[in-house]
Amino acid sequence: MHLPALPFLSPAGRTTQRVLLVALLTPLLLLTVLAAVPALVVLPFLPGGTDRAVRLLRVHTAQLRTLLDASRAGARPGGPDR
């Protein structure tokens, strides 16, 4: 998810936009990770649970990567700047 900066914002305004974005989305991401902890503890002991636990971790990793990539100045959608 790449959110373009609003064109009328100054560079300081774009920085503020990124800070607010991270400030608003980080608690939601932490809540989803904390809600998944019991599943990650129990799933490996169920049949097929290890695969589901790995998929759950991949989803959380992708969410975190999206949040951090969108918060960086000059970030390209879909990948890190290289």
Domain boundaries along the sequence of the chain: 11-71
Q: Please, which residues have CB within 8 angstroms of residue 80's CB and are 6 or more apart in sequence? A: 69
- For 1, 4, 11, 79, the CA distances from 82, given in Å and listed in that order, are 18, 19, 22, 9
Is the full-model pTM beyond 0.85?
no
15/5 Cα distance (integer angstroms): 9
Per-residue pLDDT, 9: 58
Q: 55 is written with which tokens?
A: 């998929």
Q: What is the pLDDT of residues 18-55, one digit of tens each?
A: 788 888 888 888 898 888 888 888 988 989 998 998 99
Q: What is the pLDDT of residues 1-21, one digit of tens each?
A: 555 555 555 667 777 877 888
